[in-house]
């Protein structure tokens, strides 16, 4: 379905939980989330119904995210059932990777085709600092498990954080020479109360090409990343610049949060509850939300935080 600005909406991001086994400083508060009542959260049946309704309107790609989707008890069933929905050509998943050693193979068997794994540093101490509790070894074991499980593509997501990982851009990029992975550098987005990352923490995506003059531009892919490649690499380097070069004109996605709110834009205040709707109601609301998708997300900077009123774990990154 086309939105009011002629953008074809083909991509749904489904957050299956707000909970997480990490506490990344730019994503969620140290004391975690205020646990909501079970009845407030979407059931598996409601998720499935929303995906079926979205597919009936032309959504072909589904990304399962969170919070950390792999802490969700019924994650395999959600993946298996959504992957079987008619019209959904591709189910992908974004994870911090810690539980992939146990779950990579079953996820692949459940029909997940691609996995994105978040990794902001290759330094053990810095990893534990930024995630407030994680172990780099576990994340790297997760990466190995994803590669062994035979996903069609494995991508690494790295949030660029000034004074934290700018010195590691070359080492992180070299993962594409070591493994058949893409590494995508993402500009830090100032969310609702996602830590005190001031103006110095924000780095424009252009720092990546400044650190790596040997990068060769590649033809655009089907996503929002600008693509490059290191000599002899097995995968691409992507730069995703929601702030310095926002891609709202090419945005093809809508989001459904774990507490059942349809969001036409990551950063807008607009959200509509799907709780209790049947297929027809879900389809009608999806139509409305697609037509209300804003033209762009409004200014974002250290001084202009996202208007979403939620942190990333409560939306689904």
Q: Which is nearer to ligand SF4, 257 or 313 (CB)?
A: 313
Beta carbons of 116 and 92 less than 8 angstroms apart? yes
Tell me the closest approach of the beta carbon of residue 86 to ligand SAM, in angstroms.
27
With 0-12 / 13-18 / 19 or more C-beta atoms within 10 angstroms meaning exposed / middle / buried, residue 54 is buried
Q: Which does 159 bind (CB under 5 to 8 A by kind): ligand SAM, ligand SF4, none?
A: ligand SAM
Of these, 17, 82, 95, 121, which contacts ligand SAM (CB under 6 A)?
95
Of these, 50, 85, 145, 189, which contacts ligand SAM (CB under 6 A)?
189
Exposure string for 16-45, b = 16+ CB within 10 A, e = fewer: bbbbbebbbbbbbbeeebeeeeeeebbebe
Which H or E element spans position 184?
strand 182-187
Q: Which is nearer to ligand SAM, 258 or 277 (CB)?
A: 258
Interface residues with ligand SF4 (CB under 6 A) are 20, 22-24, 27-28, 66-68, 96, 118, 312-313
Backbone angles phi, psi at 248, to 5 degrees: -60, -35
Angle, helices 100-109/75-83, rounded to nearest 10 degrees? 30
Q: Which does 191 bind (CB under 5 to 8 A by kind): ligand SF4, ligand SAM, none?
A: ligand SAM
Q: Considering only CA atoms, which of 299, 291, 154 is closest in space to residue 236?
A: 154
Beta carbons of 205 and 173 less than 8 angstroms apart? no
- Residues 9-48, one symbol each (x = binds ligand SAM by CB under 6 A, - = not), give -----------x-----xx---------------------
Q: Which does 65 bind (CB under 5 to 8 A by kind): ligand SF4, ligand SAM, none?
A: ligand SAM
Q: Which is nearer to ligand SAM, 26 or 179 (CB)?
A: 26
Interface residues toward ligand SAM, by CB under 6 A: 20, 26-27, 65-66, 68, 94-96, 118, 157, 159, 186, 188-189, 191, 194, 312-313, 317
């Amino acid at each position: 379905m086309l939105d009011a600005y002629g953008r074809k909406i083909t991509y749904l991001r489904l957050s299956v939980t707000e909970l997480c086994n990490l506490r990344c400083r730019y994503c969620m508060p140290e004391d975690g989330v205020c646990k909501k009542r079970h009845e407030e959260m979407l059931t598996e049946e409601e998720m499935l119904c929303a995906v079926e309704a979205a597919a009936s309107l032309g959504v072909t790609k589904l990304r399962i995210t969170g919070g950390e989707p792999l802490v969700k008890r019924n994650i395999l069933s959600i993946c298996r059932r959504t992957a079987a929905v008619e019209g959904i050509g591709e189910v992908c998943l974004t994870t911090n990777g810690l539980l992939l050693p146990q779950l990579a193979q079953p996820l692949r068997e459940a029909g997940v085709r691609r996995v994105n794994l978040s990794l902001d540093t290759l330094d053990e101490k810095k990893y534990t600092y930024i995630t407030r509790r994680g172990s780099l070894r576990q994340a790297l074991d997760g990466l190995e498990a994803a590669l062994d499980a035979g996903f069609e593509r494995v991508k690494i997501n790295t949030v660029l954080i000034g004074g934290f990982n700018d010195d590691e851009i070359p080492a992180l990029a070299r993962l594409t020479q070591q493994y058949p992975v893409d590494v995508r550098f993402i500009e830090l987005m100032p969310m609702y109360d996602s830590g005190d990352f001031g103006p110095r923490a924000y780095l424009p995506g252009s720092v990546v090409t400044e650190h790596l003059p040997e990068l060769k531009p590649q033809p655009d892919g089907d996503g929002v990343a600008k693509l490059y490649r290191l000599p002899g690499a097995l995968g691409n380097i992507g730069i995703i610049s929601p702030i310095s070069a926002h891609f709202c004109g090419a945005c093809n996605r809508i989001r459904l949060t774990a507490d059942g709110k349809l969001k036409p834009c990551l950063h807008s205040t607009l959200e509509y509850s799907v709780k209790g709707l049947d297929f027809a109601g879900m389809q009608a609301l999806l139509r409305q939300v697609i037509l209300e998708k804003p033209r762009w997300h409004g200014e974002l900077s250290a001084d202009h935080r996202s208007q979403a009123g939620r942190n990333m774990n409560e939306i689904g990154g």
